[in-house]
């Protein structure tokens, strides 16, 4: 993840929770300029603007939070309060009614930032299971991580390694190929794909994958090390 905006998010949220709104505003506005799909950021900004009597900015922020997550009841109620204070009673009542209706059918919503953090927690637990030799449990954690962030090529690669450790080579290959499809530049997936082919005794396929890596990064130590396996005479 990009450290810049994540750092600003953490500092902004901490300042907001401590009611240091001037400080929170600086950080959260930076986050909103980089990440436009974080509903909780816009809800916090809306509350800060409201506290500063910047009502139009508050309305804009709350509306943006609801656009991102139509079931964001808190943001909808906050918007209703602002409309009410400005004397827009019809709009306030309309928003409030929608918020009540949405809360009945609301589905769980997680911002991408939160999803990423949860995915990383599952991945860390998966790594622990893998190191202990509990490969099925490791694979389960990586699958949970991928349910949250299916676009993370590194998570698919970790799951592929777990499958290979379980000797389920077909599933392993599918995960590595999926990781490469997500991000063709993510070379660890191709290196692991080659190692899986080598483990299966398909040395030519392994060589093909490792050569693809070396064409992109001739000094890749892992790819070179594995290529040396092919040069070692089998006994």
DSSP assignment of 9-77 equals: HHHHHHHHHTT-HHHHHHHHHHHHHH-S--HHHHHHHHHHHHHTT-HHHHHHHHHHHHHH-TT-HHHHH
Give how many domains the chain has, as a whole number.
2
- Three-class DSSP category at 95: helix
d(CA 150, CA 72): 23
Residues 172 and 222 in one domain: yes
Residues 38 and 90 in one domain: yes
d(CA 189, CA 186): 6
Residues 120 and 188 in one domain: yes
Residues 214 and 188 in one domain: yes
Low-confidence ranges of the chain (pLDDT < 50): 1-2, 105-106, 235
Residue 104: predicted pLDDT: 52
Which of 77, 105, 133 is a domain's end point?
105
Residues 186 and 124 in one domain: yes
Contact between 59 and 96 (Cβ < 8 Å): no
Residues 96 and 137 in one domain: no
Residues 80 and 119 in one domain: no
Residues 130 and 201 in one domain: yes
Which of 105, 120, 143 is a domain's end point?
105
Residues 100 and 211 in one domain: no
With CA atoms as reference, report the closest residue to 164 among 195, 191, 137.
Answer: 195
Give the domain range for residue 78: 3-105
Which of 86, 105, 124 is a domain's end point?
105
Residues 98 and 116 in one domain: no
Residue 149: predicted pLDDT: 87
CATH at 221: 1.25.40.10
Average pLDDT, the chain: 87
Residue 235: predicted pLDDT: 45
Residue 1: predicted pLDDT: 36
d(CA 22, CA 45): 11
Residues 226 and 116 in one domain: yes
Residues 188 and 214 in one domain: yes
């Amino acid at each position: 993840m990009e450290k810049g905006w994540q750092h600003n998010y953490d500092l902004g949220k901490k300042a907001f929770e401590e009611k240091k709104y001037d400080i929170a505003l600086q950080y959260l506005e930076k986050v909103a300029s980089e990440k436009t799909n974080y509903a909780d950021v816009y809800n916090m900004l809306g509350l800060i603007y409201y506290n500063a009597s910047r009502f139009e900015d508050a309305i804009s922020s709350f509306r943006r939070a609801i656009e991102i997550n139509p079931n964001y009841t808190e943001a909808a109620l906050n918007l209703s309060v602002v409309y009410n204070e400005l004397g827009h009673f019809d709009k306030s009542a309309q928003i409030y009614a929608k918020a009540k209706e949405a809360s009945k059918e609301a589905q769980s919503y997680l911002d991408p930032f939160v999803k990423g953090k949860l995915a990383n927690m599952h991945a860390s637990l998966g790594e622990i299971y893998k190191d202990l030799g509990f490969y099925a449990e490791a694979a389960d954690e990586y699958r949970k991580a991928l349910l949250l962030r299916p676009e993370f090529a590194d998570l698919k690669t970790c799951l592929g390694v777990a499958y290979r450790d379980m000797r389920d080579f077909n599933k392993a290959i599918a995960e590595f190929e999926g990781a490469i499809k997500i991000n063709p530049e993510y070379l660890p997936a191709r290196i692991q794909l080659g190692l899986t082919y080598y483990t299966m005794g398909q040395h030519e396929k392994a060589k093909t994958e490792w050569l693809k890596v070396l064409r992109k990064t001739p000094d890749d130590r892992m790819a070179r090390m594995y290529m040396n396996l092919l040069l070692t005479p089998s006994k």
